[in-house]
Structure 1
Amino acid sequence: MCAVSSAQNFKYPFQNPKLPVDQRIENLLGLLTVDEKIGMMMDNSKAVPRLDIPGYGWWNEALHGVARAGTATVFPQAIGLAATWDVPEHLKTFEMISDEARAKYNKSFDESQKTGRYEGLTFWTPNINIFRDPRWGRGQETYGEDPYLTASLGVAAVKGLQGNDPKYFKTHACAKHFAVHSGPEWNRHSYNAEISHRDLYETYLPAFKALVLEGNVREVMCAYNAFDGQPCCANNTLLTEILRGKWNYDGMVVSDCWALADFYQKQYHGTHPDEKSTAADALKHSTDLECGDTYNNLNKSLASGLITEKDLDISMRRILKGWFELGMLDPKSSVHWNSIPYSVVDSDEHKKQALKMAQKSIVLMKNDKNVLPLNKNIKKIAVVGPNADDGLMQLGNYNGTPSSIVTILDGIKTKFPNAEIIYEKGTEVADPSSRTSLYQSFLSQKKGEKGMKVTFFNNNEFKGTPANISVNKAGINYNSFGGTQLAPNVGRENTSAIISGVFKSPYTGDVILSPSTSDVYTLFVDGKEIATRKGPDARHPSEFPVKMEKGKEYQIELRHTQKGKYVSITFDVYRKDPVNFAAVRERVKDANVIVFAGGLSPSLEGEEMMVNAEGFKGGDKTSIDLPKVQRELLAELRKTGKPVVFVLCIGSSLGLEQDEKNYDALLNVWYGGQSGGTAVADVLAGDYNPSGKLPVTFYKNLEQLDNNLSKTSKHQGFENYDMQGRTYRYMKEKPLYPFGHGLSYSKFIYGNAKLNKNTINANENLTITVPVTNTSGRDGEEVVEIYVKRNNDPLAPVKTLRAFQRVAVPSNTSKTVELTLSPDSFMFYDEKADDLVSKPGDYTILYGGTSDESGLKSLKLQVK
């Protein structure tokens, strides 16, 4: 929204929206100096005041709602959205997200005539990496393990974000992370993925290809890892040969944040000698925009002859095209998206959609003896578990901030107003001890107000006038991941903080002080240093027990110094006691049913995290078992003899084989967003008939996965990227719960399907007509799944999803579902072409409501 006086009075041709975009780009390119161009090639794009070009922050997030930008509607985490298998509703959801995005941009630009981080129109969403291994902590951000499902939902997300206007995009979407990227988190800056080109083309690339060719995604983010020895952001195969070559992609490539710094740091990739060679190589491989600051060295690259100004201009054309596509340099009145009012943010319509998607995402995995739905007149419900009353857990990662959250406990209380609800947290998610927070025992100073005093400085040395002083009454939890401000007037780098308070001990014994920071800190009690962390990479314990006397006051002070890019400061004070399983059992034994809300938490699984818990490393899992303390509590609850319903909150899959005997029903609710608790209660009560399907395989245990992985890779276990033995497409054993599985309160019977032809040419569409009957007494929704098996080809997947459709089927009614399989359905890797090609031969078409072949029917097909 260029600040020009009128639409008819343009100082420069590039400001005229009526001119062709290419002409505007060339005009502006000719006006910019080299320094100005370089300043616009990083995520924090520098303003060019003489040309009326504002500063702009390219970095924004909208994984399942506008993130990190104040109040926004928070839909279920991406893996939960995938479990809906509902492309039309997914598109509608992202149309709402982009409405909120435009409204926020309009407001922020009107107020400041510039946009900073998390205020712009360029969203680094969706994450379409393949969730190849349940140990990956960021798998929750994806659409699961299947390329076709991922592509279908990914294209819908892109179209919802970018809009359908012929001239202006509503926002930019971004396909990330390109490519062969799905953990581990702890070594992503140094990991070199080496896989067959068959796996590359059949598994890791199809979703990216779909978003580029079908979705017209305007940005692609290159990944941290290397592929075949070259970092992804300067990779010949990925960027030059495939993306820009075979796919002829004309949009922007943006680096993952500070990925270029990994090129020249010896402890990471170390493939380049210095910053100037790194910047030059990334630019020549068509990484146009850097998230980071290595491109500040492009002047040195020019001076050394490593690049020319023409190289800069190639990337600048794509960057400037983005400015014009979004209308950011045009008069406000010329872009109709600018009329979206701020009232759409957190609107009633969007809240209803958040609830609908949470309902659709829930997967009923087990329902022995039809324990669910619960009787509406039930007398007593015991709600137990660490996730029952945890609203933050429901938000997942890369989340926004909703105006309100309904927890599972809240939802059950509201849904069953006449029942007695017994609530017992029972345990933490992974800690074998129970914790009782003691934060309420703090005063900011003697005779001060409740809470701790927090003083921030815009320097590393606690000097000068504080940038911000406040009293935090709720608890200490500050995080600047991605550049979020810690507090008003506080910078994003080189900060320090003093967090202090007077603690009055409520008992005699050990009080646990638990600081956790991303950098350097020192912890004092009554002026005595009791803990210190000397650097960002220093290993340190997370808990410090201090013997205290009941009623005595202690002066506590935590001093934090920022050394890295991000700031993370938490400080917990609590009492730890052994979990008394028998006591929990005793308190709930008289309930008619026990609802156990457990699983995992985004505080344990996610992006490159500092986690000190058994079974977790760097944001990933080292075990796929349910945390031991929860397994033990479930076993204790089983001893009551009462029905146990396990409400599983998770962003991945777990190996639950050893726990199956301890619950009657298993309800997978993922991280359900702001309305997750209401959705859970609706399903428990039978007011919503569950219809979600698994987008990932639930293996019986880790051994079932690892024992079948390829042994030819130099990497083993989680670090092995070969697809052999992984996911339903290559797994030959029976898992605990298969991809595509999901029960209902209705019963669906599949009739005999028909193909429009039994023999087709390779370039023809194939139509399959599937009759589905709901034989139950209640309306329901079913997802009809179509799989293709290439016969007599041992290198092809066991089967692969090629079509699906969610359909509503009223009670005691039949519906005929017609689906189309495109010629792409019969394309597989060919070594001579080094690409996917149509493969003639014998095929089996499988159809039903699961990927488990025992639950599928089949038809034979010949492809010429």
Structure 2
Amino acid sequence: TTILACVKHFAAYGASQAGRDYHTVDMSDRELRQNFLPPYKAALDAGAATVMTSFNELDGVPASGNHYLMTEILRNEWGFDGFVVTDYTSINEMVPHGVVANLKEAAELAFNAGVQMDMQGGVYSEYIPELLDEGKIKEADLNEYVRQVLEMKYKLGLFDDPYRYLNKEREQATLYSQEMMDHSLLAGKESIVLLKNEPAGRSSENLLPLSKNTRSVALIGPLADNQKDMLGTWHVAGDETKVITLLEGIKKTAPNVKINYARGADFNGDNQSGFAEALAAARRSDVVIMAIGEDYTQSGEAASRSEIGLPGPQQELIEAIHALGKPVVAVVMAGRPLTIEWIDEHIPAVMNAWHLGTMSGQAIAETLFGDHNPGGKLTITFPKNVGQIPVYYNMKNTGRPFDANNKYTSKYLDVSNEPLYPFGYGLSYTTFEYSNLKLSSNELSNDGSITVNVTVKNTGKYEGKEVVQMYIRDLVGSVTRPVKELKGFEKISLTPGESKQVSFTISTDDLKFYTRDMSFKAEPGDFKVFVGTSSAETLEADFALK
């Protein structure tokens, strides 16, 4: 072991009200345990050694002073024996939270909640001696906290050599080595999600992949020849000079294609002075590639936005380019889902490329020109507009589920309930057909299992990868249950015309939830199983737990 993995931020940091970073989190214990705690527990079960507290409060108590989270759940229920570290100065921040009057009280609250390490706040080093003398904290607890920290240092061998991992020569030989760049390229390509791909103009063929015999392309947008923003938020020591931009990637991937580049617009303000150059570049080209989205400061920590459309004048730019009648590919790069409904309605090919890191430009270029067939799937739901947020696939049905013909059902007046792109969605340059969904049995016993089989066939002309997804619905429970829950997925690769049978196993563990009395168990009854290419496009079958 050379590192200690840290689980962060504990807990429910992503559920802040109004989507505002550091803001209040307020949820039921059932919601917390059913949907938010399992990923933390899974990481600890996999060997993570430390836990970092979150900035938010939960049920009125900031996480860094929350005994229920840090001791009752983490230590007593889960048996965690590593150490807990705060996020940056979060003990100090309990004063403005309003649960303590001063830093000394903050140190006492955090210590007695079960926090071993104070990151950057300085309150432990200043106040622990006083608190110990006053009997407000126990010496036995202090000794245990010290043991937990020192034990981790011992496991890393830091008592033998505290500088053993500080090797500049090794760092220089490893970082940006060919092996690391290859890993970066692969990660980038596998992360790209194709959102739309249709014919443009009079062509009967989908716009993507682009031909390397294309005479000219216009490459337009603030992310077209941009190194720093490709690294995304919190890239810290990332070396932007090593980043392959999209412009560089296209030059390498399709060297015979003439590129007419123009930045066109920035990420902020409303300056449209670059539009003329961009429009001129588009007019001179056979195809337009728009590299648009967020810069690295516009998502991630402390980067909450009340509107999540394209920032700056980028929307106006792409609308102006579209008006020329040229085939347009939109490559959207961002750290979050953006509201791109207009783009989906008007642009024939749309690719979501996130911020892919050092080899971003090469990964995107190889995908645009067909060296790589995209197979990524969305791990989040894309809303049509911010009014739909929060929007997620595993919603509850309500007592008045959506009915387009009945006003008094759960829906909006001005937009449909469906998201722009559902969870698990992602296209390929080829096509896949699902068939023959079969269960080994339609009845599941408490100690048994059911095998779910489905046949997937590549019905297109390209070799491609598909993520086969299995969802389950519990039709009746002692508390309301989601309309679907992801319970399994498998990524397969198929050549044109090839078929594969994909199998999943369902046991009672997959059916457990926190019931009305907060026991975690599976309840007998009827279930549906769904298998398909996304949460919204599936085959289905039925079974019962006896």
TM-score, length-normalised on structure 2?
0.89
- Judge conservation of contact 1:803–1:821 (CA < 8 Å) in 2: no
Aligned to 1:252: 83
Aligned to 1:697: 381
Q: Superposed, which structure 2 residues align to 1:449-598 within 5 Å?
A: 578-579=272-273, 581-582=275-276, 584-598=278-292
Out of 367, 385, 410, the position equivalent to 2:197 is 367
Query: Residues 143-191 of structure 1: CA distance to partner in whole angstroms, max 9, x if unpaired?
Result: xxxxxxxxxxxxxxxxxxxxxxxxxx331001111111124799655x4
Q: Give the letter for the 1:175 counterpart.
A: V
Aligned to 2:99: 271
Pair 1:801–1:596, CA change in 2 (3 A): same
Is 2:250 the counterpart of 1:420? Answer: no
Is 2:215 the counterpart of 1:379? Answer: yes
Is 2:136 the counterpart of 1:306? Answer: yes
Is 2:331 the counterpart of 1:647? Answer: yes
Aligned to 2:119: 291
- Judge conservation of contact 2:196–2:344 (CA < 8 Å) in 1: no
Q: Give the letter for the 1:858 counterpart.
A: E
Is 2:245 the counterpart of 1:407? Answer: yes
CA RMSD of aligned residues (A): 2.4
Q: Give the letter for the 1:290 counterpart.
A: D
Aligned to 1:620: 304
CA distance in 2, matches of 1:305, 1:667: 61
Query: Residues 752-790 of structure 1: CA distance to partner in whole angstroms, max 9, x if unpaired?
Result: 122233211244444322211111222111001111111
Query: Residues 89-136 of structure 1: CA distance to partner in whole angstroms, max 9, x if unpaired?
Result: xxxxxxxxxxxxxxxxxxxxxxxxxxxxxxxxxxxxxxxxxxxxxxxx
Q: Give the letter for the 1:683 counterpart.
A: T
CA distance in 2, matches of 1:731, 1:671: 32
Aligned to 2:392: 727
Secondary structure of 1:621 counterpart: coil
CA distance in 1, matches of 2:50, 2:490: 28
Pair 1:395–1:193, CA change in 2 (3 A): same
CA distance in 1, matches of 2:151, 2:529: 44
Q: Superposed, which structure 2 residues align to 1:63-212 within 5 Å?
A: 169-182=1-14, 183=16, 191-212=23-44
Query: Residues 635-684 of structure 1: CA distance to partner in whole angstroms, max 9, x if unpaired?
Result: 11111111100000011101111333331100111001100100111011
Q: Give the letter for the 1:176 counterpart.
A: K
Is 2:516 the counterpart of 1:831? Answer: yes
Query: Residues 280-314 of structure 1: CA distance to partner in whole angstroms, max 9, x if unpaired?
Result: 22112211111121112111111222012112012
Out of 209, 219, 234, the position equivalent to 2:65 is 234
Aligned to 1:817: 502
CA distance in 2, matches of 1:395, 1:186: 23
Secondary structure of 1:170 counterpart: coil
Q: Give the letter for the 1:601 counterpart.
A: D
After TM superposition, give the deviation of residue 831 of structure 1 in Å.
3.5
Q: Give the letter for the 2:160 counterpart.
A: D
Aligned to 2:406: none
CA distance in 2, matches of 1:304, 1:171: 37
Q: Give the letter for the 2:525 counterpart.
A: G
Which ranges of structure 2 fall in alignment gaps of 5 or more residues?
200-205, 398-416
Pair 1:331–1:632, CA change in 2 (3 A): closer
Is 2:270 the counterpart of 1:432? Answer: yes
Pair 1:671–1:235, CA change in 2 (3 A): same
CA distance in 2, matches of 1:227, 1:831: 22
TM-score, length-normalised on structure 1?
0.57
After TM superposition, give the deviation of residue 210 of structure 1 in Å.
1.1
Query: Residues 330-368 of structure 1: CA distance to partner in whole angstroms, max 9, x if unpaired?
Result: 3699x9999x95433322111101101100000000001
Is 2:120 the counterpart of 1:282? Answer: no
Pair 1:312–1:664, CA change in 2 (3 A): same
Q: Give the letter for the 1:271 counterpart.
A: V
CA distance in 2, matches of 1:843, 1:337: 54
CA distance in 2, matches of 1:321, 1:835: 35
Q: Superposed, which structure 2 residues align to 1:306-345 within 5 Å?
A: 306-330=136-160, 341-342=170-171, 343-345=173-175
Seq. identity, %:
33
Secondary structure of 1:387 counterpart: coil
Give every structure 1 segment of 4 or more consecutive aligned residues whose post-TM-superposition deviation is greater than 6 Å.
184-187, 335-338
Aligned to 1:121: none
CA distance in 1, matches of 2:166, 2:101: 46
CA distance in 1, matches of 2:288, 2:175: 37
CA distance in 1, matches of 2:183, 2:466: 20
Secondary structure of 2:55 counterpart: coil
- Judge conservation of contact 2:263–2:274 (CA < 8 Å) in 1: no
- Judge conservation of contact 2:193–2:352 (CA < 8 Å) in 1: yes
After TM superposition, give the deviation of residue 701 of structure 1 in Å.
0.9
Aligned to 2:434: 750
Q: How many residues align?
A: 514
Secondary structure of 2:158 counterpart: coil
Pair 1:337–1:751, CA change in 2 (3 A): farther
CA distance in 2, matches of 1:601, 1:745: 28
Pair 1:274–1:186, CA change in 2 (3 A): farther
- Judge conservation of contact 1:387–1:599 (CA < 8 Å) in 2: yes
CA distance in 2, matches of 1:844, 1:731: 15
Query: Residues 792-818 of structure 1: CA distance to partner in whole angstroms, max 9, x if unpaired?
Result: 347211211111111111221111222
- The structure number with the bigger radius of gyration is 1
Aligned to 1:355: 185
Secondary structure of 1:261 counterpart: coil
Aligned to 1:844: 528
- Judge conservation of contact 1:283–1:315 (CA < 8 Å) in 2: no
Aligned to 1:219: 50
Aligned to 1:397: 233
Pair 1:261–1:588, CA change in 2 (3 A): same
After TM superposition, give the deviation of residue 236 of structure 1 in Å.
2.8
Pair 1:336–1:735, CA change in 2 (3 A): closer
Query: Residues 211-234 of structure 1: CA distance to partner in whole angstroms, max 9, x if unpaired?
Result: 12x212100111111111111112
Pair 1:262–1:763, CA change in 2 (3 A): farther
CA distance in 2, matches of 1:671, 1:744: 20
- Judge conservation of contact 1:184–1:620 (CA < 8 Å) in 2: no
